[in-house]
Structure formats: structure tokens, C-alpha cells
Structure 1
């Protein structure tokens, strides 16, 4: 029986350029990164460091200028739009700052929508386990307007989880929530890694949010410059302060 850690997604020498000529900006500069299956990874960095660009490239939402992106053993870079769509439906989950729920659908219908579009159904056991983890059993027949912001984001989390993707990408998932609701969502994400074996990559600017992760990767000027394992809010804050000093000196 192998104990070799499995890689859910990876970037190999990834460059991402925007614009042309003198106006050209390098958002990512030769980034190498592996996302380990069954881990919660946070990506942090100053504004303009490339953290959201890196996540979008890893998720197949943006095209790299050079280098390679893999999800599982599939190479995403160079994939046709049709195959990318299939990959995003079957192997990738998304949680955004905006909940992106359809107002005319119930919580349950919103959760099951991506699977319905793909012509799939979850097993009842898995659906019940996800609903139990997000604590929404009493809210499945409610529409988004009848739910709090935290509950809506938990619906979005359940929607991402229910298709059992290889990896879930979360872009500032607590950005539109009050501190109590934000903490609930972060605890749920942490729980889904521990209890459900989910793999999560989260972009955040909040050291307290990053402390829920197993690992924090820091970007500056389009490069990975630091990494923390088993972070605390204080250790993340200290690392961010050092990054700010580095930026000012540079």
C-alpha cells in the first residue's frame, strides 16, 4: 500500500503576461506549485501579487502564457474549450465572494444545479453527508432571499462539494460575510477537508482566515516567496509584514 502523497493540481514554470509592448505586465513569473490532495491550501500576498491570477490559471479559468497546469493527471493548459468545460463540471468546484445562487431556485435546487446540467445525480448518502456537514437540512426548501448571507455561502459550498470534485477553488469566500458567518464558513471548509477528504485552495487577504489552512503559500510580484505549514493568525501576519517590508525595500 503506497503512502505517496497525491497531487490534486500543479503549476509548472507558469508565466502569465497581460498586455503588449511597454504596457505589458507580468502577473506570474515562473511559478512552480503543487496542491496536495486532501489538504487545505491558502494563497496570500499583497494586492497585485498574482494570487487570484494563479488560482484562475490552476482552475482553468484563465490561459497561461507559458508553462503547464495539471488537474489530477490531466494537462489543462492547451485543452479545448469543450474539454475545459467538462473538466470544470466534473473535477473542479468553485466558491466565490459573490454567492452566484439563482434566486428562483430553492437551496436544494441550487446545490444540485451543476450536476443536473451535467446529467448526473449524487448518491443519496453523499448528498446527505454534505448537507449534514454544511448544516442546511432545515433550509433546503428555502430560496436565497429567505437565507442569511452565511447560509447562502454554505449553499454555495455544498454546491461545490456535491459533485465530489478533485479540488475546490475558493476566491475570498468570506469577503461578503460578517465575522460570525465568515467563521462558520471557514470551519465548514476546514471540516470538509478533515471529514470528507476534500482538497481546497483558497485565496484570501485575511490572516485569521488563512489560519484555518494546512499550508499558506505567499506570492509577491508574481513569484512564490514563502510558505508556512500549520499556520496561526500571528505567524501569517508576521509573514505578511515581512512581505510588506520587502516590497517597500524593493
Structure 2
């Protein structure tokens, strides 16, 4: 994999003056407008904003799922910007974990087989001690031989969380991970994610629209019209909601790229 920069420092992920533009002419849409942000190691960061604010686009650019129009992105000391397909595949396999709103489990595989699938594809064996730690942390030991259809939604998402964690990635990106769950199951998954940061020093970046979910994070970054307009440290559901209500006041949109 090419492209390193020690300037990324202690950040697990970093964006520097990132612009993302879709289309051209009258159809042009500016999704990100010069976004710069660092995501510290062993921290839980939530990204929030109204629909169309650019929060999912930012996460996709950070994770190498989408390219930037301008600006650079790093995962650790690896410069993501400019990587070819092979480099991006290796990056996502070795350094990045994903948790999505749709659990993305293979229905014919057991929970254990789903958890180990990325490692098997990469030809890697799990660390037995870490595997046991992950399984116990998500509370799935008595469900490992069950297929997804035999699990509740919350259990399926915990399988997806374990799958992301077991490879020990530098950073896990979670896109609305509780969007399809009831409040109790959602709280279980969010509690697990928070514990994985505090107890096992995982780094998590989560996109969410839910102030209650964001309150599990150490820090919340707020986007509006493709810009970072505010930030909260040690958020509560109330402070998150208050900030969301005031985003219109905080927004100052510059000219087009």
C-alpha cells in the first residue's frame, strides 16, 4: 500500500480540507465543503446533522468507500487519497471495520461463521484470546451456532459488531447502527460500542441522527450544508438536541468549490 504521512500523528482517521462534489453545472451538488477533522484513537465520535448535511459522505470518504474531489484523508499513517483498487481493498480488509444499519449477515452462515468471515477471506486466523473477549463482550456465546434468522435484530447487530471488532481494525465506522432496532436493543448495541472503546481501546466513528445514540459518544461533530459547524465533548441527549435545533444559526456557507 502506498502513501504514508507521519503528520497523521495520534489520529486513527483524519480529513484535511475535504471537498466532495457530485455532478456538474446545474446538477452540481456540493456534499462536503472543506472539511478538516481528526478522530482520536480509542475515542467514540458521533457525526450528526440534518439529511443532506454530508455526514454519511464524510464517513464514506474517511473509510475509502468514496473518493474526495479535493483534499486528503488518512487512516492512521496511511494516506487513503489516491490509493488504487488493490490498496483500498487491503486498507478496508486490514485497518477498517464496518457496522451498517442493515446487518449484512449471510443467512446461510452461523453467527460464529459470520463473525470470522472477513478473517477467513483474508486468510488470517483470529487471535483466540481476543476472539473470546469479543464474544463475551457482545454476550453471544450461547448463540454462536445460530443462523441470522434464529436471532433477534439486536443479536444480529451484535454479531455484526463482533465481526467488525474481531480483526482489531484501527477504526470502526458505524452508519446508523441502531436505525433498525428497538430502543432496548439499540441501547444494548450502543453500550457494547462504548465499552469496546473504554475497555478495549477501539476507535469508533458513528453517523447517527439520534441524540440518545450520540450521547453514548465521547464527542459529537455537527455538520450542516457540508461543513463542520459545531462540536460537543461529553455530550448528553439534551445538549445534542439543543445543538441540532440551533444548526441553522451556526451555518455559514462559503462559495462553491
Unaligned stretches of 5+ residues in structure 1: none
1:108 maps to 112
1:201 maps to 205
- Whole-angstrom CA distance in 2 between matches of 1:245 and 1:110: 45
2:77 maps to 73
Unaligned stretches of 5+ residues in structure 2: 1-8, 252-257
Alignment partner of 1:12 is 2:16: yes
Alignment partner of 1:120 is 2:158: no
Q: Is the 8 A contact 2:14 2:36 kept in 1?
A: yes
Deviation at 1:122, TM superposition (A): 1.1
Report Cα offsets for 1:170-217 as digits up to 9, x if no partner.
000000000100000000000000111100000000000000000000
Q: Is the 8 A contact 1:46 1:244 kept in 2?
A: no
Q: Secondary structure at the match of 1:12?
A: strand
Report Cα offsets for 1:196-242 as digits up to 9, x if no partner.
11000000000000000000000010000000000000000000011
1:143 maps to 147
CA RMSD of aligned residues (A): 0.9
TM-score using structure 1 length? 0.96
- Whole-angstrom CA distance in 2 between matches of 1:149 and 1:88: 25
Q: Is the 8 A contact 1:31 1:224 kept in 2?
A: yes
- Whole-angstrom CA distance in 2 between matches of 1:14 and 1:171: 19
Number of residues paired by the alignment? 243
Equivalent position to 2:67, from 63, 81, 90: 63
2:229 maps to 225
1:214 maps to 218
1:97 maps to 101
Deviation at 1:6, TM superposition (A): 1.5
Q: Is the 8 A contact 2:229 2:250 kept in 1?
A: no
TM-score using structure 2 length? 0.93
2:45 maps to 41
Deviation at 1:123, TM superposition (A): 1.0
Alignment partner of 1:164 is 2:179: no
2:159 maps to 155
- Whole-angstrom CA distance in 2 between matches of 1:223 and 1:153: 30
Q: Is the 8 A contact 1:12 1:67 kept in 2?
A: yes
Q: Is the 8 A contact 1:57 1:69 kept in 2?
A: yes
Q: Secondary structure at the match of 1:28?
A: strand
